[in-house]
Structure formats: C-alpha cells, structure tokens
Structure 1
Amino acid sequence: MKQAIGLGAPSASRAVVVGGGTMGADVAVVLLRAHCKTFIIEPRQDQHAGIHQKVLANLQAISKPDNIELLQIAAGIDDLDWSGIDLMIECVPEVLDIKRQLFKALADKAPAHVILASNSSSFPISQIAEDLPTRERMLGLHFFMPAHIVPLAEVVLGPDTDPAIADALAAFMRRCGSVPIMVRKDVPGFIANRLQHALGREAFSLIQEGIATPEDIDAAVRFGFGFRYLAAGPIMQKEHAGLDVHAAAAATIYPTLSNTPTPPPILADKPKNGTIGMKSGKGFYEWSEANIAVERQRYNKALRAGLEILSEDLPKIEP
C-alpha cells in the first residue's frame, strides 16, 4: 500500500474515470483542471466525441482549454495499461450489480497501488466491496452535481478501508481544488445527503400539511437561512448567533418536526404519476424546453457566482 499512500501532485498522477455520463465527464474536469492525466472509460463509442466536447467546453469556461490534451477516452478497462494508473473513480449507473462487477474485474486488472473509489450516492462502499480482496484500498468518493462547480467531495471509509489511503485521497482532492470531507463511518447517504434529506423530509411534510407552498419553501431556504450558509455552515452560524438561543428554540421546535419514516404522499406520488421534474416537464413546477434552458442558465450562473464568493476559502489547485 505504500505506493497508493504516495499519491502525489495531480500533474504527476494518472487517473481513470469509469463512466462517461454527466457525472463522469464532470469529475474528469475536476482532475483535468489540476493537470492530471485523465482517462475516461465509456463503452458507448458513439458518445466519445460528445464527451470530449463537453469536457472541453467546461475547461474553456475556466480558461484551461489546453488541458484537454491530457484527456483520453477508451471503450473498456482492457484498453489501458493499469500499471501506470494511480486512481480509479467509478461513475457507472447506480445499480449495485454493475458496480460490483466492475470492482471485481478491477481486483485482477488494477495493481495493488491503484486506489479504487466509487462515486455512488446511495450504496455503502462496504456493500460494493463485500468479499472483494481489494477492500482495503476501496472507498467512496462522492461528488455533487455539477461536480466541476460544486466543490465538496465526500471521502467515505468502509470498515476495511486503510485510513492512510483515505487521507492520501483527501489530500489529492484538495490539490485538485475540491473541498474533501471525511465520512468515517459507512452510513447510508453519507453526510451531505443525510443533511439534505433531513431538510427535505420537513419541507415536503410542510407542503403535505398545507403549511407552505413549494415556492414558499424554496424562498425560505434561498433567501433565509440558506443565504447565510454561503458564509457559514449550520454549526458555525449558531456560534455567531449563540448556542443558548439555538438550544432554547430547539427544545420547542424539535418535538414538532416531522419524523415520518417514509416520504409523504405529496412527494411519493410524483414518481408514480410520472411527474418527476424537468425530465418529465412537470414536478411541483411546470417545465417547457424554453424555461428549462433559462433555469439551468440561471442556476449555473448562481453556482459560479457563489464559487467566486467562496474562492478565498477553497483549496488552491496545484499547478
């Protein structure tokens, strides 16, 4: 494991992203912006040109178009010389059998120094790694869409993961300009998604009970407490406000919060009815192709503006 722990500067490392979909292509941008030689594995060869163009456009947006020269796209894991690879990040579909088949194949294909990471957002790394001889060097590396704009990356340790490898991967991600956090126990949803779902449960329950509309919920978060979270997270913000005030309010509010173990019907019925948001043209909001384009442009512009505000707090990309 000494070689894996020695994962060095991005410009001296080689990484493989398996899966060239939306998430995989954006993860490749994270690596490429730090001058890391990057391979994308995508079996659908008719998608290769589009992947290349998407990655190039995102590199152009950060004034690093020349880094596209560090990208290669291949059709399968057999097309690579794995002896020179330092890191593999899996971004295949969120199907457990597909993920396990990949990692089982890599147990023989990837030498012992290669760190094996999964971008799974729902499957614990212990479940993916079960019974595999590579468990010690397997861990989660969970990005958030769009991965090349949202800085956070969760480094998730399984029960068998070598902590030194997790530390090395976190350090590598900092050198790529990401903000890694360590998830020290392999719990469902890791950290950020658990926090999101705690908020979501209360938000959808408030809509279900007729207390608020979707528009009111979104405004409350964006222009209220969520606005402050750009400057300070929930713990630091309460340090500013006073933990005594928060504890007193919590004693009154906590007993009334939703603790439903299942999604309320206002949410659960949407997928059943085929109303799943932008992808179907309707969710809680109505969507046309025109206003989807406008909203996505606004959304990405806001994310990039927020990234600029946070720039002084972000790790510097290693040249």
Structure 2
Amino acid sequence: MSERKSNVIVIGGGTMGGDIAVTFAAGGWDVRVVSPSQKTRDALPSRIGAGLKRLSVSAGEAGNVSACSRLEDIDWQHVDLVIEAVTEDLNLKQKLFMQIESLAGPNVPLASNTSNFQISEICKTLKHRARFLGIHFFMPAHLVPLVEIIGGNDTDPGLVKSMCVLMKKLGKAPIVVKKDIPGFVGNRIQHAMMREALYLMEEGAVSAEDVDIAVRFGFGFRFLACGPILQKEMSGWDTNCRAGNAIYPHLHNEATFPVSMKKMVDQGNVGMKTLHGVWEWTEESAAKEKARIEQILQTGLEIIHNDLKKIDG
C-alpha cells in the first residue's frame, strides 16, 4: 500500500492561491483549492499545468490538484495544512478561519497568506491560536523564492520552525519575521521604495518608464547577487552613512498614497486587471508581458539555484 501524500487546502484560487497550489503540487503534495468561482475552478487545470511546466516538473512527479466550491466538500480527516489566500479583508479572514476551526482537526496548522494584517489580529477570535501563523508568499508565488513566516502572540514557536523546514523542502527561501508588525518585512521595504518612486513621479522628477529602468538596471540588478546589507558591506558603511545623512532629509515621508495615483485607482484603473493603469493594456499585451516576466524569473531561479541550496542546508 502506497504512503499517503501530504494534503494542503488552499482557500482562494486567484492570483496568489493558484500559484501557491502550483508550489505545493510541484513538491509532491496533494492540493485541494477552495473557490466559489466556477470560472476560477474551470481555469485551474491549465493554470497548474503551465506552472508545473515553468518549474520543469512533470505531471507524474507532482501531487494531485483538485478544486471545490465549499469548505464542507473537503475530507477534513486527511488535511495536513490550510493556507488562506483570499481578498485582503480582515473581517472576511476572521470569519473564514472561525469556520475552518470548526472543521479542521485541532492539530492542523492554519496559515494566512495576508500581506498586511497582523497575524494576532486575524486569529484573535479563535480558540486554538497556537497553531495559527502567517505564511506570506510573493507574487508569482511559484517562482519567487521568498516566503515570510510570521508567528502571532500565541503561535507555537515550534510551528514556525517546522514551517521554515517545509518551505525549504519546497525550494523556497523562508525568513522568520520576529515581530508581528503590519506589512511584515518584504512589503515594508518594498513600499518604502515605492513611496519614493511614486512621489518622484508626482512632482515631475522622473517618468514611470525611467523609474523601472533605474530599479531594474541599477540597484535592482545587484539584488540578484546580494541584498542591500551585503552590498554596503562591500562598498563601505562610511560612504553609506555620509550619503544617508545627505539624502534622508529630502526623502518623502507622506502617510498617504499620492493624489494622482489614488485618483487613478478611484476611477477603476488599477493596471492589467482592468487594462488601464499607468499604461494602457490589451488582453494580448498583458499576457505577453506576464509571460516575458515569468521567463526572466525562471532564468533568475536557475542563476541563484546554488545559493538556494545553501539556504536549504
């Protein structure tokens, strides 16, 4: 009799949930995706197939992926992990996990892929908070190695460690966020850069096109080889200290999104999803651009493969 494969439940089959499903399937896990959307469920097989192909994993090596519309359709006796990846709505997440807690066994780890809300806030109404934590993937989740593991005030520290081990087995580069802070680590660093870029655009200092060129072909290019701390170890903290003292007083520290960008969002122009954003898109041009980006990310994964193996060690 063959050994039962590990089984993960992914709640939400959208942008993040679908790619999280690919990640676990590539690692040999059986995956059950829960989505009320018939369109999302119908698109899942082709999406999983394309993701596995991108990771060079054959269907025979991968776990089985299936979809259902309701939590009640799951065989909860054979669940090893639950990951929620629904809309960033705190009330929705809290209600969802209360329902999950009534269905899942008491020892099943429950995780949120939230990119913003504090873990302790999401699980505050649960009875068994020791098994609750954050497992935050970055888009596209099947290609980007970074995963943040975040414990709440009541999370079992052993669970945080075991999830780090699991993520390494899945080919990821996990980090432990030691404080349950809004936005965690990756997004806080990213949004600090984004705020400066958007306000530089707002005041007419640079175009959107040139922001992307500056990041991709400047300091962003270096990040494939080393992070910002190691880079300054090489260049010297004395130089960075002088530069920081000169530049920091002029950096933007506004507490809100730039007016022009907020107006664009309020008008429903949010980017590729609506075919209108900073730039205009068609279904074809958006698909072509996404494919180009995924191809470059795949090549990047191959370049840093040995460094990822060192993290696994």
Q: What TM-score, normalized by structure 1, do the two folds share? A: 0.90
Separation of aligned partners in 1, 2:37 and 2:262: 33
Bigger drift between 115-124 and 41-50 goes to: 41-50
Note if contact 1:175-1:316 (Cα within 8 Å) is conserved in structure 2: no
* CA deviations over 1:43-67 (Å, ceiling 9, x no partner): 3345433212211221133232224
Return the structure number with greater relative CO, CA threshold 8 A, min gap 6.
1
Alpha carbons 1:11, 1:36 under 8 Å: kept: no
Q: What is the rounded CA distance, in whole Å, between the counterparts of 2:278 and 2:37 in structure 1?
A: 34
SS in 2 for 1:60: helix
2 CA distance for matches of 1:242 and 1:97? Answer: 46
Change beyond 3 A, Cα 1:291–1:38: closer
Which of 72, 92, 95 does residue 101 from structure 1 map onto? Answer: 95
| Paired letter, 2:22 | V
Give aligned-pair identity as a percent: 42
* 1:258-269 correspondence to structure 2 within 5 Å: 258-269=252-263
Letter of the 1:104 partner, please give it: M
1:175 maps to: 169
Q: Secondary structure at the match of 2:141?
A: coil
Shift of 1:282: 2.8
Q: Could you tell me how far 1:261 is from its partner in structure 2?
A: 1.1
Q: Tell me the equivalent position of 1:30.
A: 23
Which amino acid in structure 2 is aligned with residue 248 of structure 1? R
Match in the other structure for 1:4: none
Give the structure 2 partner of residue 81 of structure 1: 75
Tell me, yes or no, if the aligned pair for 2:31 and 2:63 is still in contact at 8 Å: no
Q: Which residue of 2 aligns with 1:159?
A: 153
> Which of 303, 306, 310 is the matching residue for 2:297?
303
TM-superposed CA distance for 1:239, in Å, is: 0.9
Q: Of 202, 222, 230, which aligns to 1:228?
A: 222
Structure 1 counterpart of 2:234, one-letter code: H
Provide the rounded CA distance (Å) in 2 between the counterparts of 1:37 and 1:229. 34
Query: What residue is the counterpart of 1:70 in the other structure?
Result: 64
Matched, 1:19 2:12: yes
Q: 1:288 to 1:73 in 2, by over 3 A?
A: closer
Amino acid at match of 2:48: V
Q: Is the 8 A contact 1:174 1:316 kept in 2?
A: no
SS at structure 1 position matched to 2:226 = coil
Provide the C-alpha distance between the structure 2 equivalents of 1:11 and 1:192, rounded to a whole number of angstroms: 35
Match of 1:209 in 2: 203
Distance 1:290 1:76, change over 3 A: closer
* CA 45–267 in structure 1, closer or farther in 2 if over 3 Å, else same: closer
CA distance in 2, matches of 1:35, 1:317: 21
Q: Which residue is 1:56 aligned to?
A: 49
CA distance in 2, matches of 1:146, 1:69: 19
Gaps of 5+ in 1: 1-9
Task: Give unmatched runs, 5+ long, in structure 2.
Answer: none
CA deviation after TM superposition for structure 1 residue 12, in Å: 4.9
In 1, are the aligned partners of 2:98 and 2:125 still within 8 Å (CA)? Answer: no
User: Aligned letter for 1:81?
Assistant: D
**1:69 to 1:194, Cα distance in 2 relative to 1, 3 A:** closer
1:74 Cα deviation from its structure 2 partner: 2.7
| 3-state SS of 2:60 partner | helix
Separation in structure 1 between the aligned mates of residue 232 and residue 310 of structure 2, nearest angstrom: 28
Displacement after TM superposition at 1:251 (Å): 0.9
Whole-angstrom CA distance in 2 between matches of 1:274 and 1:38:
34
3-state SS of the aligned residue for 1:66? Answer: coil
Contact 1:178–1:315, Cα closer than 8 Å, also in 2:
no
Q: What corresponds to 2:33 in structure 1?
A: 40
Q: Aligned pair 1:148/2:136, yes or no?
A: no
Divergent runs of 4+, >6 A: none
Q: Contact conserved, 2:134 with 2:150, CA < 8 A, in 1?
A: yes
State the 1:69 CA deviation: 5.2
Q: How many residues align?
A: 309
